[in-house]
Structure 1
Amino acid sequence: MFCVKYKRVICKFDKRYIIMRTKIFILLMVLFFGNFVWSQNRKREVIDYLKKEMKEKKIPGCQLVIIRSNTILLSEALGVATVPFSTPVKKNTLFSINSISKVFTSVAIMQLQEQNKLNINDHISNYIDSIPENWKRITIKQLMSHTSGLPDIEDDKGLISNKGQDSAWLKVKKIPLQSEVGEKFNYNATNYYILQRIIEKCSGTAFEKFVRKKQFDIVKMKQVYYGNSYDVIENKCPTYTYYCQDKISGEYVKGTKLRETYEEFPSKMITDAGAFTTAEEMAKWITGLQTGKLLDKNEDIGTIWEPVKLSNGSYDGFGGLLNAYALGWPVIIRTNHSAVASLGGGRAAFVIYPKDNLTIILFANLTGIFPEEIIEKIAGFYVPDIGK
């Protein structure tokens, strides 16, 4: 009799347990499909917005990658890579990322500091010889943040000497400083020309070889190349522009005719610009940096992302959204949702919103589109008060 009652109690318990598990399962499925539908709707909204921007700005093609908590939420390739042949952009299409190359340099410097081969507060005279006396008190940090006051080794046409990089280096050393050291933000290539020399001296190897071994290989970033626009590289797309130089004023003005740009990146200045890669490959590098694969110390990421104050205590940067500059990284300083960014040639960019665990990468093949502004609008789909 006892056994029968006991079995009935067990049976009732089993039924309740099964019912409870079924309800939990149904709830989880509802949540799963709800999140799935929300994600798909959000993806559709983002793509629709980007297509609208492409149409308005006449962008031939682009790649977009969105990362949340080190996981890719969205990866899209839109439009055409080569206009004359209507070749579609694919996820393995290579884009010129120009000055985004500076972030590789920034991390390379910190890697060498972790190896005790340099310190960012060291004077550059510790590492390079034959420089003007008033250059000797400039620090590595001031090179990285463009607060050195150095004259520019380039002008609107390229190197300031038509006899090559070494000749340009000799010539720039004879030009007066643009400002006192630490006084102003002057974005120019001389800073990163010197950084390449310092990295190669301290590492004992060529810069490209160093970053491939210490960065690209570690994060399995296989599709990244240094070169020029005329180099023949598989899957590389051209860069286009509507701007042309006015023959009288020398200024660049926007026209109606689409042109293919010609870019040459000096070999001794690839710390400054000259890389080609894809948005998904860039995502590997960004995720690797944020998950501790590239720098041993978490505080070193904070160091390269910390906005640098000028000697009067203020900040300066590219202006507008990018109101400050760190060590190779433009910065968005604001009360909420501050961010760090990287820009290349007015067509490629990525923005990292650290507190929101959000990163957005946008590579396009049309210059002059202000990609950081498009990214900011896309970020608003995931963080509604992003700009407030």
Structure 2
Amino acid sequence: MRFCSVMAVLAMAALAQGTRPESIDAYIAREMQARRIPGVAVAVVERGAVTFKKAYGVANLETDTPVRTNSVFQLASLTKQFTAAAVMMLVEEGKVKLDAPISSYIENTPASWSSVTVRNLLTHTGGITPGAIVRVDGTPLIDITAARALDFVSKPPLMFRPGEGAFYSDTGYFLLGLVIQKASGHAYRDFMQTRIFDALRMTDSTMLDKWKVVRNSVPVYTIHDGRISHWRRDWQYEVNAFAGVCSTVEDLARWIAAFRGESLLKKTSIEQMWTPARLSNGQDALVTGDAYGFGWMLSGYRGHRVVQHAGASGTFLLHFPDDDLSVIVLTNLDGPSGSRPASLARGIAGYTRDEFRPPETLEPRPDPAPETTRMLRDLLSDLGGGKESSILTVEHQAFFKRLPPEERSDVTDLFQSVRSLTFIAADVSSPGVRRLSQPVSRICYYRGEVAGKTFYFTFWLTAEGKVAYLNFYPV
């Protein structure tokens, strides 16, 4: 009882010191309207205690049911961190070895998978075809058994040799579900229920089951032909270890709080999950531009180390491990339709602590290093003119060259159209922040005018002044 009282005091103290509920309310209302999001549930967790939680909008457009903080959302790919945790629990028990071939746990695998390991699957470095949804003549099956899925994903050749590349793969996590079943002796969904949901008192969490009626469940919407429509992901997947967890912001607050201690996993296991995977050449294994651990994207924000993941259903979990802060955002509009839950989470973090305010909300400051700004402006000019630049790290030069020709052409055209670059702010990076395998020393933020539009640019700089990574986005 005393523990609960202490946690409540800490929660109220944190709320008084930082989180601004009225500002978050106004921010969410603006973003929901701009992005056409029907409903959102949000939670902020600081030092293991929930300091803010609230629901907004409509859960079900047909019944006009409001979103609540115990509304059950489909998490989609946030499931991967649960699957990775389950694997690490079995590693701790000696039932799974990270560097064992997956053929040790899965029968009838093709010969081409002989050197694919459990670690490869966790880090998307196995080279196995990424698509896990069984299709016939391009149309997904309604009922997808584990046997049918395994047969389907076993046929294509490897995309690259295991450990020599990285490509985001739902298939890899489906296969990890089979590994969990073999090593534990239990069905994947039963393992998740007893070993994770029940153990952490995640009482409203469950595995997606199209046959099951789930109280307070929230459908996912998409924008089709300009109108809000049903998402149409109607398949029943027997071992959905890549996208099958359904949960609430309240339960996810318990989930992320479990990473503070050792109630779920040992600290050494958590550290492995949050360590960038390496390719056989020693470089970080990059997935959509970010390093990847076991079920978590690893990146940095405003100079702070973050571990995070998105779900295509419009969900995001943002965690600052060195600052003991997490932001959970669950929407019911899919990501491709523009819900942008990652941006929402970062905005909420900024209303929780000023040091996390998004750069686009800051007013320009006097430029402390005009020579750096000139260098970065010259970099954009060189890239826009199709020239190589020594200002980029070798790793970034190689990354830029690997972009598909059409995408690279779009980027160079944009850089060629930059008319101004105005300094906004700079952060000193924490020691754990890396981009494209290189440690980052400083991060600089700019506002730019590009072909009559306003863009925001972020440059990650090494201690030597090289650009390890750059990112840009329009207002």
* TM-score bucket (shorter structure): 0.7 to 0.9
| 1:9-28 correspondence runs (5 A) | none
Structure-2 separation of matches of 1:385 and 1:114: 37
Say if 2:323 is the partner of 1:356: yes
The 3 A distance-change label for structure 1 pair 157 and 331 is farther
Q: Report the alpha carbon displacement of residue 39 of structure 1 after superposing the two structures with TM.
A: 4.9
Once the two structures are TM-superposed, the CA of residue 130 in structure 1 deviates from its matched residue by 1.9
Report if the CA contact (8 A) 2:44-2:52 is conserved.
Answer: yes
Residue matched to 1:347: 314
**Relative to structure 2, which stretch is displaced further, 298-307 or 83-92?**
83-92
**Alpha-carbon distance, 1:373 to partner:** 1.6
Give the distance between the partners of 1:343 and 1:141, measured in 2 at CA. 21
Return the match for 2:271 from 287, 290, 302: 302
2:55 equivalent in structure 1: 77
Matched, 1:63 2:61: no
Report deviation, 1:135: 0.6
Letter in 2 for 1:45: S
**Is 2:165–2:285's contact at 8 Å kept on the other side of the alignment?**
no
Q: TM-score, normalised by structure 1?
A: 0.81
Structure 1 alignment gaps of length 5 or more: 1-32, 245-254
- Is the 8 Å Cα contact of residues 153 and 168 (structure 1) preserved in structure 2? no
CA–CA distance in structure 2, aligned partners of residues 175 and 154 of structure 1: 12
Matched residue SS, 2:354: coil
| Matching residue of 1:132 | 110
Please tell me whether residue 118 in structure 1 is matched to residue 99 in structure 2: no
Mark the CA change 1:91 to 1:35 in structure 2 (over 3 Å): closer, same or farther.
closer
2:84–2:295 contact (8 Å) kept in structure 1: yes
Secondary structure, aligned partner of 1:220? coil
* CA gap 1:190/1:35 in 2 versus in 1, 3 angstroms: closer
Matched, 1:101 2:71: no
Query: SS of 1:327's equivalent?
Result: coil
- Pairing of 1:1-388 with structure 2 (within 5 A): 39=18, 42-154=20-132, 162=141, 164-165=144-145, 166-228=147-209, 231-242=212-223, 244=224, 255-264=225-234, 266-295=236-265, 297-312=266-281, 313-319=283-289, 323-333=290-300, 336-368=303-335, 369-386=339-356, 388=427
Identity across matched positions, percent: 28
Q: Is the 8 A contact 2:144 2:235 kept in 1?
A: no
SS of the aligned residue for 1:360 comes to strand
Equivalences, count: 341
Specify whether residues 34 and 264 from structure 1 end up closer, same or farther in structure 2 by C-alpha distance, changes over 3 A only: closer
Once the two structures are superposed, residues 218-240 of structure 1 have per-residue CA deviations (whole angstroms, 9 ceiling, x without a partner) of 21111012124674321112111
Counterparts of 1:310 and 1:228, CA distance in 2: 36
Which segment drifts farther, 230-239 or 177-186?
A: 230-239
Change (3 A) 1:334 1:119: farther
| CA displacement 1:293-336 (0-9 Å, x = unmatched) | 101x21110101111122331341224xxx22111111214683
Partner deviation per Cα, 1:63-119 (whole Å, 9 max, x = no partner): 000011111110101111111332111122111111111111111111111111111
Change (3 A) 1:310 1:60: same
CA distance in 2: counterparts of 1:148 and 1:302, whole angstroms: 21
8 Å CA contact 2:178–2:239 kept in 1: the answer is no
- The secondary structure found in structure 2 opposite 1:213 is helix
Give yes or no for contact 1:144–1:327 (8 Å, CA) kept in 2: yes
8 Å contact from structure 1 (residues 147, 185) kept in 2? yes
In structure 2, relative to structure 1, the CA distance for the partners of 1:375 and 1:222 (3 Å cut) is same
**Cα distance change of structure 1 residues 335 and 347 upon mapping to structure 2, 3 Å threshold:** closer
Which of the two has greater strand per residue?
Answer: 2
Distance in structure 2 (CA, Å) of the matches to 1:160 and 1:191: 21
| Deviation readout 1:36-87 (Å, 9 max, x if unpaired) | 76557x1211221111111110111110000111111101011111113321
Quick one: which amino acid aligns to residue 234 of structure 1? Answer: R
Shift of 1:258: 0.7
The answer as to whether partners of 2:18 and 2:352 remain within 8 angstroms in 1 is: no
CA contact (8 A) 1:230 1:262 kept: no
Contact 2:222 2:230 in 1 (8 A): yes
- State the alpha-carbon separation in 2 of the partners of residues 241 and 229 from structure 1: 19
Whether the aligned pair in 2 keeps the contact of 1:161 and 1:168 (CA below 8 Å) is: no
Measure how far apart 1:124 and its partner are. Answer: 1.2
Deviations 1:352-371 (A, max 9, x none): 10111100000011112121
* 1:343-384 Cα shifts (integer Å, max 9, x gaps): 211401111101111000000111121211211122122343
Compute the displacement of 1:129 (Å): 2.6
Distance 1:160 1:359 in 2: 38
| Contact kept? 1:196, 1:269, Cα under 8 Å | yes
Higher relative contact order (CA 8 A, sep 6+): 1
Cα root mean square deviation, aligned: 2.6
In 1, distance between residues paired with 2:14 and 2:206? 38
Q: Secondary structure at the match of 2:348?
A: helix
CA-to-aligned-CA distance 1:174-206 (integer Å, 9 cap, x gap): 211111211222112221221111111111111
Q: Which amino acid aligns with 1:385?
A: E
Alignment CA distance shift 1:37-1:327 (3 Å):
closer
Q: Give the distance between the partners of 2:344 and 2:140, measured in 1 at CA.
A: 37
Asked whether the 8 Å contact 1:81–1:365 carries over to 2, the reply is: yes
Structure 1 letter corresponding to 2:304: H
